[in-house]
Structure 1
Amino acid sequence: MTLMDAEPRTPSPATHDVTNQPPPLTPYDASDDAALLEGLRREGAGWAEAGLRRLGLRAGGPEAQEWGELANRHEPVLRTHDRYGHRVDEVDFHPSWHELMRVAVAEGLAGAPWADGRPGAHVARAAGGLVWGHTEAGHGCPTSMTYAAVPALRRQPELAKVYEPLLTSREYDPGLRVPTQKRGLLAGMGMTEKQGGSDVRTNTTTATPTAEPGMYTLRGHKWFTSAPMCDVFLVLAQAPNGLSCFLVPRVLPDGTRNTFRIQRLKDKLGNRSNASSEPEFDGTVAWLVGPEGQGVKTIIEMVNCTRLDCVMMSAALMRKTLVEAGHHARHRGAFGARLLDQPLMRNVLADLALESEAATTLTLRLAGAADRSVRGGDGPEDERAFRRIATAVGKYWVTKRGPAFTAEALECLGGNGYVEESGMPRHYREAPLLSIWEGSGNVNALDVLRALTREPATAEAFFAELALAQGADARLDAAVARLRSGLGEVTQSGARRLVERMALTLQASLLVRHAPPAVADAFCATRLDGDWGHSFGTLPDSADFDGILGRALPPAS
């Protein structure tokens, strides 16, 4: 009998059925976060809640989630020349990038708060970033820089009069054209150079005055300029009287392209959807912003804004990955029970939830300080001093917690979290960036030391904030006393330890005042009183896991 003579085989059944896999998380409400909504109201932007809830549903919807995935899979492409050999220096983006940008700008996540007279407008923007950040992080770079450019540009009122209405517009109008002929503009920045990085005083790009007052020509090279398809850039260069700030448009008023030669796009660990470039200036036309020699002073407000956004984006990333981990644990079973019911997994998720709530609460407090600082009113000097130091403290600590947090959240999904389809590897690659942009950890720690020694009002404002929780928790009171007593002994080498203690004490004070007892008690017991291990998931058995997780995780769909 041959094989040909054998009776035909019947098709074999499938080797397995798909069971014990969680359903898709999408659609979900990215604004369904008690800490976020409570902070929004507390910091004066309760009027924005309905719009935030609408944005949350859109951010967690399948269309926006797909935009985020596609924008990172199809990375931007540099075109230095057109088919005829003309220099164009353009970057092409996938359509999904433009959809993300269109929503972000329309929702006021770029410069819009500066044109909004309502108290809390800057808080509403930060809350919107915490929600829309559930899509993807790369397009947050140009919106952040546009937001931050406005107060710096106001140092030159005649330029602000022309550009500010377009930078605060809610219309996304891509493409290189004469700025004043567009419906809305985006701004970038060109600060760092290869020889100096954060030490911008070593910049070698030169600025030569022209016959026209306020107009200069630049010559030099920038090492890390993101979003090169923005319409205008704030650039640092050495003028005759020292380091100065300049406005550089990509297209000049007469319609010609300004010299902005993009040498290459950076091949980055994460943030792949966003183009980061090395532009070269050679006879590039620029307009002075602020006095000559005061470039750093001119951009300091810009730095405060972008540092706040680094805190906000880290907090958004924490919340997004916590939601993913909680969803997986709710639907996945192991060893006879759902992961969410396993004591050790509950400990991990509760510990992550504490970290996420502390980051979100601090973000909104910083946004409230920013809002009140720019608007004036009762006690603006105290708020400005608090904002000055607390933003640097928050930037250092929250962005440092991001990589460890996202790694732990990824691990909650096991092998499923390690594959690209889950989205968790993209979040993990994104997390380290936020502690590097706008000053690395050392830069921010030294900035805190500088503020404490040169601006005594910052320390007074910081401790005044902590005093609002005095007497509510003995562990917090003890931590504040230790912090105050140790201020006079800090050296440069101890700056990181000091800033860490300041951040944890500040977060604890906010949670003691505003969070439920389950959250505040567990945070103080672990972060302040030492009842904690060296990784997430080491909360004491006395922690109220039900109270923490019931508040943090959205209800099952």
Structure 2
Amino acid sequence: MSDHAPRTRLATHRVTNQPLPGGDRDLLGGDPPLREALAREAPDWVTRRLAPLGREAGGEGVQALGEAADRHPPELRLFDRHGRRLDEVSYHPAYHALMHLAIDHGWHAVAWQEEGRGGHQAHVAALYLLTQAESGFCCPITMTHAAMPVLRHSPAVEARWAPGLLAWDYDPRALPAAEKRGLTFGMAMTEKQGGSDVRANTTAAEAGDDGWRLTGHKWFCSAPMSDAFLTLARTDEGLGCFLVPRFTPDGERNAIELQRLKEKCGNRANASAEIEYRGAWAEPIGAPGRGIATLLEMVQQTRLDAAAAPVGMMRQALVAAWHHVRERHAFGRALAEQPLMRAVIADLALEVEAGVALMMRAARAFDGAARGDEHERALARLLPALAKYWHNKRGPGFMAEAMECLGGIGYVEESPLARLYREAPVNSIWEGSGNVICLDVLRVLGRHPDSLAAYWQAVAPARGEERRLDATLAELERLVAEPAARLEPRARWLVQRLAQCLQAALLVQYAPAEVAATFCAARLGDEAGPAYGVLPSGSPCNALLARIES
């Protein structure tokens, strides 16, 4: 060999004791709690239609799309090369591919095309699966889905916009709505000075010869590439609801200026913008001065989605942690064989199981309400807020615990845990942070006593089956009977207990006995604590772990 031949650089070690790549997974077929919830809550067609989505969303290709969409966030394009105003957002191809996955299969429209026949359950279950590919792109799916009840307040507006909303065709082109195959919707509600207190909004709407014109600033515009935005603006009658299209009826770009994109902690695949209405053309929806009431139905829809998404993220984190600990060895045996680790993973699995049960029960209430069932309608007023509050309060700690199961590798961006941890707070903040949600629950309980009656009826079948649940329900009955002035400072505890008791009641009725008993002991019993992995002595970890995957 020549003295000048290149030397071969040899590795200093072999890579051992690291989990193998995940490979393709079936997100529905491998999820026993979801399959069981669908079997009892939804018509058979829902599971059949979801099955291909479960396989596709769990495939390595779609998982890679989710990672790419998060790593390459959208970019703001204010002007073209010649200085003409564009006000466009440019997305990575992975984002568009994920949007096609959802919209080209109708998951944004299924709740309305199958309304009252399981459509809401299909939508919520699909969102839970899609979230496990990437949560950020699900925001415009939720917005588009949730816009439909608002459009119904004005039949003429609905006639023009609903066909595009319901179309199974993702069309990202910046064109007037009439020239597109399918449409997406965004929303722009909050302003700097008010935030959740939208009654402080100052954006003004003035009527003119060619329609209404809006002038003002919006602090958060979700999905700013959308074809139309639902927004609030002040009129002489008060706050009104308006639809602001991206293009005016004569085909010109509407006077909606994108000021900047928010640089967010998580939710990076999705764009959120500050915008300025500079005399933007708009058309009113609903009764004059009743904008907040008009939008409440949309808020209920988005809150249900915001309750389902964290459960999907928790499921993704659970599976990642479980795969790691089964293949990683330390101190002479696999992590999954070590009692303390088994308790942590089993407790995480318990949280996901309870979350799936509650989100699917809430979705069933929406379909029941659509059929005219007054009991289900009363539940539909209450359950989205309970589930949104509690699932999102459990999410960030869940992600941190799952990340800890992986150790250092869980803290790096190559792991899905880092992305999930960044994403975890968003659904708690969106559509009303924790305090806002709790105050809304108090309002529902005060104004709609039938909702509380429906709640007691929903938990009644589980009474007498589990002593810890019975004791907590008795405590809850005393608490809700207190005067409103005394309830408000304790509203978080009240909402937590309402959510936990309904989760427990559902598990007592439908889950294996080991799951229900462990949940009641770990969440309602004397040994209940705030940290994950603190299961009561003698908890059946083997039974809980066996239900993570099948």
Matched residue type, 1:382: H
- Conserved 8 A contact 1:45-1:124: no
- Conserved 8 A contact 1:111-1:148: no
Distance 1:518 1:231, change over 3 A: same
Q: Which residue of 2 aligns with 1:277?
A: 273
Q: Which residue of 2 aligns with 1:16?
A: 13
Q: Which residue of 2 aligns with 1:25?
A: 22
- Conserved 8 A contact 1:108-1:125: no
1:115-126 correspondence runs (5 A): 115-116=113-114, 119-126=117-124
Report SS of the residue matched to 2:459: helix
1:286 pairs with 282, 288, 305, which one?
282
Structure 2, unpaired ranges of 5+? none
Structure 1, unpaired ranges of 5+? none
Structure 2 residue 437 is the aligned partner of structure 1 residue 430: no
Which string of whole-angstrom CA distances, capped at 9 and with x for unpartnered residues, describes residues 377-421 of structure 1?
Answer: xxx111111111111111111111110001101111001101111
Structure 2 residue 462 is the aligned partner of structure 1 residue 469: yes
1:98-117 correspondence runs (5 A): 98-116=96-114
Pairwise CA distance, 1:48: 2.1
Q: Which residue of 2 aligns with 1:176?
A: 174
Structure 2 residue 414 is the aligned partner of structure 1 residue 414: no
- Conserved 8 A contact 1:311-1:399: yes
Report SS of the residue matched to 1:414: helix
Structure 2 residue 124 is the aligned partner of structure 1 residue 92: no
Report SS of the residue matched to 2:230: strand
1:304-319 correspondence runs (5 A): 304-319=300-315
Q: Which residue of 1 aligns with 2:194?
A: 196
Pairwise CA distance, 1:466: 1.1
Matched residue type, 1:304: Q
Q: Which residue of 1 aligns with 2:264?
A: 268
- Conserved 8 A contact 2:472-2:501: yes
1:70 pairs with 68, 71, 77, which one?
68
Matched residue type, 2:434: G
2:388 pairs with 386, 390, 395, which one?
395
Which string of whole-angstrom CA distances, capped at 9 and with x for unpartnered residues, describes residues 338-378 of structure 1?
Answer: 111110000000000010111111111111111111232xx
* Aligned mates of 2:8, 2:40 — CA distance in 1: 64
Matched residue type, 2:463: Q
Distance 1:414 1:260, change over 3 A: same
Structure 2 residue 490 is the aligned partner of structure 1 residue 494: yes
CA RMSD of aligned residues (A): 1.7
1:69-468 correspondence runs (5 A): 69-116=67-114, 119-212=117-210, 215-376=211-372, 380-468=373-461
Pairwise CA distance, 1:117: 5.4
- Conserved 8 A contact 1:225-1:279: yes
Q: Which residue of 1 aligns with 2:521?
A: 525
Matched residue type, 1:540: P
* Aligned mates of 1:460, 1:72 — CA distance in 2: 44
* Aligned mates of 1:500, 1:86 — CA distance in 2: 52
* Aligned mates of 1:12, 1:54 — CA distance in 2: 46
- Conserved 8 A contact 2:317-2:416: no
Distance 1:95 1:486, change over 3 A: same
* Aligned mates of 2:447, 2:122 — CA distance in 1: 32
Matched residue type, 1:184: G
Q: Which residue of 1 aligns with 2:504?
A: 508
Report SS of the residue matched to 1:83: coil
Distance 1:180 1:7, change over 3 A: closer
Pairwise CA distance, 1:181: 2.1
Pairwise CA distance, 1:541: 2.5
- Conserved 8 A contact 1:399-1:435: yes
Matched residue type, 2:172: P
* Aligned mates of 1:19, 1:275 — CA distance in 2: 40
- Conserved 8 A contact 2:256-2:276: yes
Distance 1:516 1:88, change over 3 A: same
Report SS of the residue matched to 1:217: strand
Which string of whole-angstrom CA distances, capped at 9 and with x for unpartnered residues, describes residues 250-289 of structure 1?
Answer: 0122210011100000010000111100110011010100
Pairwise CA distance, 1:486: 1.2
- Conserved 8 A contact 1:45-1:121: no
Matched residue type, 1:280: E
Report SS of the residue matched to 2:27: coil
More moved, 104-113 vs 249-258: 104-113
* Aligned mates of 1:10, 1:401 — CA distance in 2: 54
Distance 1:121 1:6, change over 3 A: closer
TM (normalized to structure 1)?
0.95
- The share of aligned pairs that are identical, in percent, is 49
